[in-house]
Structure 1
Amino acid sequence: MNVIQTNSLTKTYDGKGGISDVTLSIGEGIVYGFLGPNGSGKSTFVRTLLGLLQPTSGEGFILGEPIGTTKSREQVGYLPELFRYPDWLTGKQLLDSHAELCKIPVRQRNKRIEEVIELVGMTGKERGRISGFSKGMSQRIGLACAILNDPKVIFLDEPTSALDPIGRKDVRNLMGYLRDQGKTVFLNSHLLHEVESLCDQVSIIHEGEMIVQGPWRELMMTEAQVEVVTAGSIGAPFPSFVTSYHTVKAEEGRMRWLIQLESESDIPKILHYLSSQKIDVFEVKPIIPHLEDVFMHWVNQKKESAYVDNR
């Protein structure tokens, strides 16, 4: 079953901005990264899914229920990017009020509140007033509210933006925990290095349009890079499956090469070639692309395509 499904979902403002024609399917038990620069339409898309904005066209479903309905929101948790809570309340009082809104039985409330306070790293601080919370603590209490009703789907919009390195690690651990519990975490973020280790699949959007989606490690260009350390220089020209190469550095009689290949399957070929040339090889290291590399590749490709179309 798809936890989140959209078909050509569009939300524009007088025909401009927002998001356009987004179609995706998201299963259960994954962290799904919805990635794009600031202003690319990420928050608009989430608010449309949650029924906070009326779609211009298209359709969407959460847990099989049409977006915008009460049933589609019953099993959902949400942490907006910009939020404010009544600052005269304590963290515990805020969670009590949310528990009442979520209709958590009275006998279960204290236990559940204690659980989420521990999960977000606020144990011992929940009785302080929100007015005295730092940005990081406010973010943590917001996360606690988002997961209080034990939702099946959690939407997090830039959840690490106000946190220090320890807090960001805590949030990554929490998202991993939720995923391991079978939850689906829909993560809006532009901090790619923060989510690279967590996201199973991603969508990349730019200026409101979906560029590409899928398992992010499979979205990189077909070419592969490999770093090779050899004894001395390589005299003969490289074979045709090497699309480019250059020396990175030379040290103690050894040469370090960065070699671009047509595909990952050519890595054994370059080793065979160097061996046939009687060149000693000390090290071979494939260059694994990061999520940021994947993101920039597709965004730049989109920009180049738009430039050509507008000429």
Structure 2
Amino acid sequence: MATGTTAVGTAGGALDGLPPSPAVWCSGLRKRYGRRTAVDDVSFTVGRGEVVGLLGPNGAGKTSVIKMLLGLVRPDAGEVLLLGRPSSDPRSRSAVGYLPELFRYQPWLTAAEVLDLHVKLSRVDVPAEERRECLALVGLAERTGDRVGGFSKGMQQRLGLAVALVARPELVVLDEPTSALDPLGRVDVRDIVLSLRARGVAVLLNSHLIGEVERVCDRVVILDRGRVAASGTLAELLGQHEVRLRLGDVAPRVEERLRVTGTLTRSGDWFTVALAAEDDGVTVPDLVRDLVGLGVRVHAVEPVRISLEERLLAVLRHDEPAP
């Protein structure tokens, strides 16, 4: 018995030293509705403190995937772990905040009462002051005592975001969080997502606003017809980037210096240089310094890179990305 206890203790100590499991791990998710396959063999992870964007056209299966991750829909096949536990275990969802795409709160409740209700449901001790701070974070500090029935769609969206955040989640799942929000509201959501990442909170973000995804996400998963069409970091998805320079007084030795940096193309006084995908950020400043040292007049320096929108469209159309 003593030996067994020691072995367990040793194993436990070894496990304690391991890095935490991913916030989300799913493998081989499948779901059919009648004859239609909504999700087919979807696998991906969301690391702790990582923001992952879920992109794809309407009907691609994004919301179905989210519901399977959260145990709201049972998959026909596949496995899901949330924060290291099977999604079938209710404890796996105790530290998850969720903003669904479509939701409604009781119109007779005030914003503060809605938050109080969800704190009770979460069984997490959240002081009243912290609840007020959560409402202030989403821009509802002046409306805490107002009934939800009088809220605009944008204000209800802000309240839904507060509900997702109030119980100090380790994973936040946001399904179209900027729906019905004005430009200022979208900036607020972006800042909140970035602050969550800074605190080590994982975020899974489903949004049609590709620009927002490109600004805040570490990795992107693109779904098309229920399958993963592409996934990776933004650098991996967007590939090689370039820099365009408008130069004057270009001598042959100047072109030689440009070619040392990468493949060179010229159109008049504009020179385009392809940069390595693993560029460390000093290549362009060093290049400009050397050009000035060679007596070149540098009139303009413009970074050029395929946008996430272009890459998404290329994937969905089964084309190569635009150069």
TM-score normalised by length of structure 2: 0.78
**Is 2:226 the partner of 1:212?**
no
Q: Distance in 2 between matches of 1:217 and 1:138?
A: 35
Equivalent position amino acid for 1:163 in 2: L
Q: Distance in 2 between matches of 1:175 and 1:144?
A: 12
> Is the contact made by 2:250 and 2:296 (CA closer than 8 Å) also made in structure 1?
no
Q: Distance in 2 between matches of 1:128 and 1:68?
A: 37
**Is 2:174 the partner of 1:160?**
no
**Is 2:106 the partner of 1:86?**
yes
Partner of 1:168, secondary structure, is: helix
| 1:177 counterpart residue number | 195
Q: Distance in 2 between matches of 1:50 and 1:157?
A: 12
Specify whether residues 244 and 139 from structure 1 end up closer, same or farther in structure 2 by C-alpha distance, changes over 3 A only.
same
Q: Distance in 2 between matches of 1:260 and 1:293?
A: 20
**Is 2:267 the partner of 1:256?**
no
Equivalent position amino acid for 2:83 in 1: L
What is the deviation of 1:60?
1.0
Partner of 1:214, secondary structure, is: strand
| 2:10 counterpart residue number | none
What per-residue deviation string (whole Å, max 9, x for no partner) do you get for residues 166-196 of structure 1? 1111111111111111110110012111122
What is the deviation of 1:218?
2.2
| 1:51 counterpart residue number | 71
> What are the ranges of 5 or more consecutive residues in structure 2 without an aligned counterpart?
1-20
| 1:226 counterpart residue number | 243
Aligned pair count?
286
The CA RMSD measured in Å over matched residues stands at 3.0
| 1:73 counterpart residue number | 93
**Is 2:303 the partner of 1:286?**
yes
> Is the contact made by 1:17 and 1:41 (CA closer than 8 Å) also made in structure 2?
no
Specify whether residues 279 and 264 from structure 1 end up closer, same or farther in structure 2 by C-alpha distance, changes over 3 A only.
farther
Q: Distance in 2 between matches of 1:296 and 1:178?
A: 29
Specify whether residues 190 and 246 from structure 1 end up closer, same or farther in structure 2 by C-alpha distance, changes over 3 A only.
farther
What per-residue deviation string (whole Å, max 9, x for no partner) do you get for residues 72-94 of structure 1? 11111100111111112111111
> Is the contact made by 1:120 and 1:141 (CA closer than 8 Å) also made in structure 2?
yes
Q: Distance in 1 between matches of 2:158 and 2:140?
A: 7
Q: Distance in 1 between matches of 2:229 and 2:278?
A: 27
Equivalent position amino acid for 1:295 in 2: L
Stretch of structure 1 that moved more, 210-219 or 147-156: 210-219
Partner of 2:216, secondary structure, is: coil
Stretch of structure 1 that moved more, 137-146 or 33-42: 33-42
Q: Of 154, 158, 162, which residue of structure 2 is paired with 1:136?
A: 154
**Is 2:313 the partner of 1:296?**
yes
Stretch of structure 1 that moved more, 64-73 or 169-178: 64-73
> Is the contact made by 2:42 and 2:228 (CA closer than 8 Å) also made in structure 1?
yes
Q: Distance in 1 between matches of 2:145 and 2:154?
A: 16
